């Protein structure tokens, strides 16, 4: 009877697990693919597409080991060295995420200007590929490298659609995806309303950027407060680790437990603070 109950419980768990698992061979929807970012996506959004995810992983491991060795040499305490090694191992990822956020913010500020330049070029009688390529010279500085590569790519291949796909990959920006797909549709269906479409898109981007800037200005105090609250205890711990009595306390099993629990609570509190105060992030669903 016990074996039968165990077998039934196992079959039930298996059925529950299979219900939440995507069927093999079923293509993942685009929206589902955009809901989570891989390491490669994060590097591309930070403008570091040439960096391999494996290189980032090796950098994190190297930073963790270097910090752990340095702190261990100063404090002679393994738990403290392990905690600071883990913090140092996450530091490259935090820097890349910050770079990606700054790059996306910079692009959001200059896209309205770029769309206005496109509308002016189309209204002046330029063809759509020439207007897009002209952004390499007349466009905002932040976008010029990507459009310069597009101009060279189109000059070599002459395939507008394929060049737009590679342009999206270089930009790795959700606003850029919308602009590129709008250009693609205008090219395929004729583009009689392209000028009006671009002007409406420029106005929408300006309104969105203005609203987001106001919200980020009000949110900045919460973000800075969460960072200070999460980092201050560890700075104090590093300073106090030069004292012999403090080191002896954390060399015990109870001290190691205090460090581990404190680190977990700091991480959870920081993530909760950031999640409660974060603004909606636009995902790349038009890849």
How far is residue 207's CA from residue 123's CA, in Å, rounded to a whole number? 23
- Confidence at residue 3, expressed as pLDDT on a 0 to 100 scale: 47
Beta carbons of 83 and 234 less than 8 angstroms apart? yes
- Confidence at residue 58, expressed as pLDDT on a 0 to 100 scale: 92
Record the tokens describing residue 7, joined without a space. Answer: 């077998």
With a cut of 70, list the residues of the chain below it in pLDDT: 1-37, 189-193, 277-287
- Confidence at residue 152, expressed as pLDDT on a 0 to 100 scale: 92
Beta carbons of 57 and 236 less than 8 angstroms apart? no
Q: Which residues contact 287 (CB under 8 A, 6 or more apart)?
A: 30, 33, 34, 168, 177
Beta carbons of 146 and 168 less than 8 angstroms apart? no
- Confidence at residue 205, expressed as pLDDT on a 0 to 100 scale: 82
- Confidence at residue 14, expressed as pLDDT on a 0 to 100 scale: 58
pLDDT tens digits for 193-236? 677 777 787 888 888 888 877 777 777 777 777 778 888 888 88
- Confidence at residue 37, expressed as pLDDT on a 0 to 100 scale: 63
Q: At what angle do helices 253-277 and 194-240 cross, to 10 degrees?
A: 160
- Confidence at residue 150, expressed as pLDDT on a 0 to 100 scale: 92
CA 10 to chain centre: 39
- Confidence at residue 62, expressed as pLDDT on a 0 to 100 scale: 93
Continuous segment of H or E residues that includes residue 203: helix 194-240
Query: Residue 149: how many CB atoms within 10 A of its CB?
Result: 15
Q: Which residue has the tokens 């993530």?
A: 271
Beta carbons of 281 and 45 less than 8 angstroms apart? no
> Is the pTM value of this prediction over 0.85?
no
How far is residue 142's CA from residue 170's CA, in Å, rounded to a whole number? 12
Record the tokens describing residue 77, joined without a space. Answer: 């305490």
Q: At what angle do helices 128-138 and 78-123 cross, to 10 degrees?
A: 120
Beta carbons of 247 and 77 less than 8 angstroms apart? yes
């Amino acid at each position: 009877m016990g074996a039968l109950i165990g077998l039934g419980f196992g079959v039930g768990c298996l059925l529950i697990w299979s219900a939440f698992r995507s069927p093999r061979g079923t293509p993942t929807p685009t929206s589902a693919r955009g809901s989570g970012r891989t390491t490669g996506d994060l590097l591309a959004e930070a403008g570091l597409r040439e960096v391999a995810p494996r290189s980032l992983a090796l950098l994190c491991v190297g930073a963790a080991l270097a910090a752990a060795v340095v702190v261990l040499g100063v404090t002679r305490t393994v738990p403290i060295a392990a905690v600071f090694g883990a913090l140092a191992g996450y530091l490259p990822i935090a820097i890349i995420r910050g770079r990606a956020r700054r790059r996306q913010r910079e692009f959001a500020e200059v896209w309205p200007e770029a769309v206005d330049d496109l509308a002016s070029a189309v209204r002046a009688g330029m063809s759509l590929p020439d207007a897009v390529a002209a952004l390499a010279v007349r466009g905002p500085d932040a976008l010029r490298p990507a459009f310069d590569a597009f101009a060279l790519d189109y000059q070599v291949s002459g395939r507008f659609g394929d060049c737009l796909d590679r342009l999206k990959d270089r930009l790795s920006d959700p606003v850029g995806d919308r602009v590129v797909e709008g250009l693609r549709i205008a090219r395929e269906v004729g583009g009689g309303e392209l000028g009006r479409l671009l002007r409406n898109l420029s106005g929408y981007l300006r309104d969105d950027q203005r609203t987001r800037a106001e919200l980020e200005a009000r949110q900045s105090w919460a973000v800075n407060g969460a960072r200070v609250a999460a980092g201050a205890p560890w700075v104090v711990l590093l300073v106090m680790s030069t004292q012999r009595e403090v080191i002896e306390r954390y060399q015990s099993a109870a001290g190691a437990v205090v460090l581990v629990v404190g680190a977990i609570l700091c991480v959870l509190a920081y993530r909760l603070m950031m999640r409660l105060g974060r603004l909606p992030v636009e995902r790349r669903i038009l890849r």
